[in-house]
């Protein structure tokens, strides 16, 4: 949450919004330069083998399958050698890549990763490999992202240039704290989802009555997405057109999948097909264009154009080329018309924040923009989406992971590490309207959801006390649910739903170096402690995972989260068989937004100096400790962590529950 310095900066921004926008634009340029430099540094002086060891490249790939994709692109399946563990690849769906064959003057095909399939990756490339492609070995490298920064630049310029009386100008005044948010009296409305609780109804009411900006603070498990679905349905029922966005494709697709389940709404998903979940393929703009029928005519024109070019010779050839160019232009215009028609008749357009700058939208402004996970979006990215709406509804949780900022300068971290949501919430505060939205005309702009529907009350209570002012309460359906209700055996040595295995005194000291990853590789952007791992912790966490599975839990119901990427690599190796059966091992960052019935969290750090590294960012730990539904086990060294107020309270809290277990007590043998 914002500090006193942040609030002072809020006042400075209010006094000089033009200066703030200029400083923000400069910070964004610095972030872009830092991103380019980081990308170059990752490659500088490193061989392909070294880049592959760092999880940033793949070597010795073979092309196993090729298929056509929309707009003349190619969908290609590349397979890695059996010895390569694709879980260690630090690239995922939607990441830009280049596929190259290494030969002098050989092909370099740019595209993006679509999805993983067994030991292979499906890529969507801008062109097809040549006919001899299957006879050669290929390599895959990451490409530097540029379009995100370009779209942020345009959004900042658009916001700065808006006239004061325009919709964007009025929205700018609220976003830059020059005037408070305003609301109108809310007419009677009736919930379409009868299971919404009181605070969820209050959030919907606020979002329906706002004239500019409304904020929904959704702590873990409190039904934020469900609340957003109700807002979408209510506003569409009023005849409005909405743009629904989030910083990540995963968050957009999650919302889109739930909208699709509801039915009755015309929804279109913008974005590169490789970045869209397969479950949402039918909602994608490309798929809807293909289904429209106009594609067939455009394809005929393009086929005719290719034939003309192939057979063009001499003087007649110049005429044939001219005709081919006209046919291509006609085909492109026909497809563009269909795309515009599809998006204009849609009730809801789905896109990432940067995808909201899709060319098909032109200068279109929506009745409202909903920005989910708003506390993860730096201002330039959030503004790409915000500039598309007359009204803006922000949803998120500033107590979970925030924006990733590469540039180390304090000014850039302050400008890009703090979000619109945080500053608006700090300046205008929370309201507690009733379900009719009768809260007055101006003032506070935030409703916090308080009843959570995920965690056992004992798991929830620590987060509630330390992060949410003690306001969270567990819904009756989850407050006392247990693993035994799923058929698991009881474990008297791991009592209750919340257990801390304390490694103090075991001399399981952390290390720095490879730890299963390349020397010097940064783990989750922790500049202070790169490649931190703990072999003793890893062995014990793996044993605890096997003990938990021996109680009869399905591997799919269990996940292991480690605070450092190097530790994740070790745990994946130790739990290879269990992972093959469905158990998940991942980083904190990769697990936000997910949940499992049982979670094991390894905090890794164990040293005589009490150094915590990025564990000092309590938002990360809050994410890790709020993913479990029925059982949470934390592996920690209380001698290292105990002097920190948050982690000291964690140890005392679990002790009071009776869940504090010394690692000396047993070796975590399976129960059967």
Sign of the CA dihedral 193, 197, 200, 201?
positive
Residue 364's pLDDT is what? 95
Facing residues of 602 across strands? 562, 635
Distance CA 468, CA 445 (A): 18
pLDDT for 311 equals 66
Half-sphere exposure of 591 (CA within 13 A, CB side): 30
Q: Is the dihedral of CA 599, 605, 610, 613 positive or negative?
A: negative
Helix 285-292 and helix 314-345: axis angle, to 10°? Answer: 110
**pTM of the full predicted structure?**
0.84
Low-confidence stretches of the chain (pLDDT < 70) are 1-15, 68-72, 102-105, 131, 294-296, 299, 302, 305-306, 308-318, 320-325, 328, 332, 408, 431-443, 513-530
**Separation in Å, CA 397 to CA 401, 443, 456:** 8, 20, 20
- Residue 407 contacts by C-beta under 8 Å, 6 or more apart in sequence? 27, 30, 31, 33, 34, 413, 416
Spatial separation of the C-alpha atoms in residues 37 and 599, rounded to whole Å? 37
Dihedral sign for Cα atoms in the order 357, 358, 360, 365: negative
Report pLDDT for 436. Answer: 40
Cβ atoms of residues 475 and 453 within 8 Å: yes
Phi, psi of 519 (to 5 degrees): -55, 135
Q: Are 539 and 602 in contact (CB under 8 A)?
A: no
pLDDT, residue 611, reads: 93
CA distance 189 to 175: 28
User: Which two tokens mark 499?
Assistant: 């257990």
Other beta carbons within 10 angstroms of residue 328's beta carbon come to 17
Beta strands per DSSP E along 183-263: 213-217, 242-246
**What pLDDT is attached to residue 431?**
62
Would you state the pLDDT for residue 2?
46
Q: Tens of pLDDT along 281-317?
A: 899 998 898 887 766 677 677 677 667 666 666 555 6
Q: How far is CA 308 from CA 70, 71, 318, 597, in A?
A: 22, 19, 10, 61
For residue 559, what are the β-bridge partners?
A: 584, 599
């Amino acid at each position: 949450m914002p500090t006193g310095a942040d609030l002072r900066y809020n006042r400075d921004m209010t006094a000089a919004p033009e200066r703030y926008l200029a400083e923000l634009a400069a910070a964004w340029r610095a972030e872009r330069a830092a991103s380019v430099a980081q990308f170059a540094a990752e490659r500088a002086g490193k061989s392909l083998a070294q880049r592959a060891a760092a999880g940033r490249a793949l070597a010795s790939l073979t092309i196993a399958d090729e298929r056509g994709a929309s707009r003349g692109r190619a969908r290609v399946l590349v397979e890695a050698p059996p010895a390569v563990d694709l879980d260690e690849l630090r690239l995922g769906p939607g990441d830009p890549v280049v596929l190259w064959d290494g030969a002098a003057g050989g092909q370099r095909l740019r595209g993006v990763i679509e999805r993983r399939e067994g030991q292979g990756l499906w890529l969507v490339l801008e062109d097809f490999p040549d006919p001899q492609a299957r006879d050669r070995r290929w390599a895959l490298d990451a490409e530097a992202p540029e379009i995100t920064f370009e779209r942020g630049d345009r959004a900042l310029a658009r916001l700065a240039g808006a006239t004061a009386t325009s919709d964007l100008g009025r929205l700018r005044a609220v976003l830059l704290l020059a005037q408070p948010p305003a609301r109108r009296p809310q007419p009677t409305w009736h919930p379409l989802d009868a299971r919404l609780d009181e605070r969820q109804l209050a959030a919907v009411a606020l979002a329906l009555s706002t004239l500019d900006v409304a904020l929904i603070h959704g702590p873990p498990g409190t039904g934020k997405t469900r609340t957003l679905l109700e807002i979408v349905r209510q506003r569409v029922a009023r005849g409005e057109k909405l743009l629904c966005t989030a910083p990540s494709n995963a968050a957009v697709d999650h919302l889109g999948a739930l909208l699709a389940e509801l039915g009755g709404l015309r929804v279109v998903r913008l974005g590169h097909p490789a970045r869209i979940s397969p479950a949402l393929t039918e909602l994608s703009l490309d798929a809807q264009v293909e289904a429209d029928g106009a594609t067939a005519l455009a394809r005929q024109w393009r086929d005719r154009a290719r034939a003309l070019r192939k057979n063009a010779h001499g003087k007649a050839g110049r005429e044939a080329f001219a005709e081919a160019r006209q046919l291509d232009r006609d085909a492109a215009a026909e497809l563009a018309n269909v795309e515009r028609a599809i998006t204009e008749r849609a009730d809801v357009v789905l896109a990432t924040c940067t995808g909201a700058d899709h060319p098909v939208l032109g200068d279109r402004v929506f009745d409202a923009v909903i920005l989910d996970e708003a506390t993860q979006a730096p201002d330039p990215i959030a503004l790409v989406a915000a500039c598309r709406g007359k009204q803006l509804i922000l949803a998120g949780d500033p107590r979970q992971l925030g924006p990733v900022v590469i540039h180390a300068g304090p000014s850039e971290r302050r400008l890009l590490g703090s979000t619109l949501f945080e500053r608006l919430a700090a300046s205008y505060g929370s309201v507690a309207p009733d379900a009719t939205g009768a809260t007055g005309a101006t003032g506070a702009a935030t409703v916090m959801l308080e009843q959570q529907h995920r965690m056992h009350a004992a798991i929830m209570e620590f987060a509630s006390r330390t992060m949410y002012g003690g306001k969270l309460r567990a819904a009756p359906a989850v407050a006392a649910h247990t693993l035994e209700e799923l058929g698991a055996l009881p474990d008297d040595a791991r009592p209750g739903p919340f257990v801390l295995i304390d490694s103090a005194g075991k001399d399981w000291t952390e290390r720095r170096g490879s730890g299963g990853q390349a020397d010097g590789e940064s783990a989750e952007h922790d500049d202070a402690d790169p490649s931190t791992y703990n072999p003793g912790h890893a062995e014990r966490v793996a044993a605890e995972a096997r003990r938990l599975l021996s109680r009869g839990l399905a591997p799919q119901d269990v996940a292991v989260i480690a605070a450092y990427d190097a530790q994740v690599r070790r745990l994946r190796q130790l739990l290879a068989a269990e992972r093959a059966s469905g158990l998940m091992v991942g980083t904190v960052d990769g697990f936000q937004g997910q949940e499992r019935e049982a979670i094991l969290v390894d905090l890794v750090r164990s040293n005589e100096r009490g150094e915590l590294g990025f564990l000092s960012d309590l938002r990360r730990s809050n994410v890790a400790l709020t993913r479990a539904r029925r059982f949470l086990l934390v592996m920690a060294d209380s001698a290292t962590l105990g002097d920190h107020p948050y982690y000291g309270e964690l140890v005392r809290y679990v002790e009071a529950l009776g869940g504090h277990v010394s690692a000396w007590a047993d070796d975590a043998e399976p129960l059967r």
